[in-house]
């Protein structure tokens, strides 16, 4: 049947209906699964492309008309509409609540640390996670034979290319293994005075366990100007450590070695669990290591083209997961990355 004959037919048939049963038969005949309307709709795919849209619209209009006629008839026969009366919607039912998320604990701790340095006048700068071998190592005075440059300790992106050593150290790309390369980027593009913190992701091919992850977060910081002293480093780090861990912690600087700082120091805080008496968290030592630091090596200044002897500066770098684990007493780094809401909701 074509559209026009269906139109004519429904108009004549609907007039003769006077019981709910015959109305239902009529509904099935036109709108039911095998009724006229679904038959028309089903024929659309076989029509020429250009006629489908117009035909579809006509069928739809006819379907709406038939639905309307049946509904009117239903009301006339029974006094009830086939549509749900308004009162059947229970407006007292509780709605479907939309849960609000919040920032990830690592983001929260990163923001907190950056805010403390921001208040001391540091700018927040980010750098790329795909970095050159030069910025990640060579520019930072890390020698070619340093173990961290091994392919087992750094993710190289184009290992195998550029076997020629000269172009290799200039061009090879890698996933940065620390945030320190942003020192090179910033020092090359800006002039002192500089006070910068750099939050971001870093990557190392470590086997995952309770304290290692192939991806984690660091915050690098550095200050460069004329006359920056080790005491400036101590002052800034003390404000940071007391801001994060509380006014009562003590700090100590242990001599250490980093290629890009001289002298270098690792920084410990008194154990926040046992207040320095010795417990399982601090391995009975009373101290917890929180970061590496030192005075920027003159060779780093030379590598970025600063006039020899003119500037001094300090730098430091910390792992955000480690700070967060100490601050909240978390004993497994994997918890940060498993997306388990039972864990995340606690922050």
- Which residues would be at the binding site for ligand DAH (CB under 6 A)? 178, 180, 220, 258, 261, 292-294, 315-317
Which is nearer to ligand DAH, 74 or 261 (by Cβ)?
A: 261
* CA–CA dist 130, 59 (Å, integer): 57
Q: Which residue matches tokens 């790309």?
A: 173
Task: Yes or no: say if 116 and 243 are a contact pair by the CB < 8 Å rule.
Answer: yes
Q: Are 249 and 270 in contact (CB under 8 A)?
A: yes
Non-local (6+) Cβ contacts of 15 within 8 A are none
Distance from C-alpha of 264 to C-alpha of 315, rounded to nearest angstrom: 9
Minimum distance from residue 340 beta carbon to ligand DAH (Å)? 28
- 131 φ/ψ angles, rounded to the nearest 5 degrees: -130, 160
Measured CA to CA, the distance from residue 296 to residue 165 in angstroms comes to 26
DSSP three-state, residue 118: helix
Q: % helix / strand / coil in the chain, to the nearest 5?
A: 45, 20, 35
| Minimum distance of ligand DAH from residue 178's CB (angstroms) | 3
- In which order are the strands placed within the sheet that holds 123-124? 123-124, 194-203, 215-225, 312-319, 287-296, 261-270, 251-258
Minimum separation from the CB atom of position 220 to ligand DAH (A): 5
Q: Is 199 or 317 the residue whose CB approaches ligand DAH more closely?
A: 317
Closer to ligand DAH by CB, 30 or 301: give it.
301
Measured from the CB atom, is 105 or 292 closer to ligand DAH?
A: 292
φ, ψ (nearest 5 deg) of residue 126: -115, 155
When the beta carbons of 258 and 311 are compared against ligand DAH, the nearer one is 258
Rounded to a whole number of angstroms, the minimum distance from the CB of residue 317 to ligand DAH is 2
Name the maximum alpha-carbon separation found in the chain. Answer: 106
Q: Which is nearer to ligand DAH, 175 or 315 (CB)?
A: 315
Question: At closest approach, how far in Å is the CB of 177 from ligand DAH?
Answer: 7
Cβ 298 to ligand DAH shortest distance, Å = 14
C-beta closer to ligand DAH: residue 73 or 217:
217
Residue nearest to ligand DAH (CB): 317
**Count of other CB atoms within 10 angstroms of residue 187:** 24
- Spatial distance between the Cα atoms of 296 and 280, rounded to a whole number of angstroms: 35
Which of 27, 176 has the CB closer to ligand DAH? 176
- 129's CB contacts (< 8 A; 6+ apart) are 175, 176, 200, 201, 202, 203
Q: Please state the closest distance from residue 312 (CB atom) to ligand DAH, in A.
A: 13
Tell me 86's DSSP state.
G
Question: Tokens standing for 152?
Answer: 């087992």
Min. distance of Cβ 256 from ligand DAH in angstroms?
Answer: 8
- Choice between 122 and 316, CB closer to ligand DAH: 316
Q: CB of residue 294 vs ligand DAH: minimum separation in angstroms?
A: 4
């Amino acid at each position: 049947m074509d559209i026009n004959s269906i139109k004519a037919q429904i108009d004549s048939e609907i007039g003769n209906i006077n019981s709910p049963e015959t109305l239902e038969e009529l509904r099935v005949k036109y709108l039911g699964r095998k009724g006229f309307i679904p038959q028309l709709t089903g024929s659309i795919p076989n029509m020429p492309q250009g006629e489908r849209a117009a035909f579809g619209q006509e069928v739809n209009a006819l379907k709406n008309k038939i639905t309307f006629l049946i509904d009117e008839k239903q009301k006339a026969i029974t006094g009830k509409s086939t549509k749900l009366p308004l009162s059947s919607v229970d407006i007292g039912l509780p709605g479907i609540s939309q849960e609000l998320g919040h920032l990830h604990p690592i983001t929260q701790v990163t923001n907190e640390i950056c805010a403390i340095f921001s208040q001391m006048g540091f700018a927040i700068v980010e750098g790329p996670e795909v970095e050159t071998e030069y910025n990640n190592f060579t520019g930072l005075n890390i020698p070619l034979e340093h173990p961290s440059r091994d392919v087992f300790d750094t993710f190289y992106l184009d290992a195998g290319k550029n076997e020629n050593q000269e172009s290799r150290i200039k061009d090879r790309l890698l996933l940065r293994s620390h945030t320190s390369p942003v020192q090179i980027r910033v020092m090359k593009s800006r002039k002192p005075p500089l006070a910068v913190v750099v939050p971001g992701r870093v990557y190392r091919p470590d086997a995952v366990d309770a304290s290692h992850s192939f991806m984690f977060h660091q915050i690098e910081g550095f200050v460069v100007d004329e006359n920056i002293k080790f005491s400036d480093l101590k002052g800034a780090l003390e404000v940071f450590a007391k801001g994060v861990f509380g006014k009562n912690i003590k700090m100590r600087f242990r001599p250490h070695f980093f290629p890009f700082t001289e002298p270098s120091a690792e920084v410990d805080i008194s154990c926040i669990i046992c207040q320095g008496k010795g417990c399982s968290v601090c391995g009975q030592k009373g101290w917890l290591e929180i970061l590496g630091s030192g005075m920027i090596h003159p060779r780093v200044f030379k590598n970025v083209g600063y006039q020899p002897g003119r500037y001094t500066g300090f730098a430091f770098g910390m792992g955000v997961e480690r700070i967060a684990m100490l601050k909240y007493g978390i004993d497994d780094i994997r918890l940060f990355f498993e997306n388990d809401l039972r864990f995340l909701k606690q922050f």
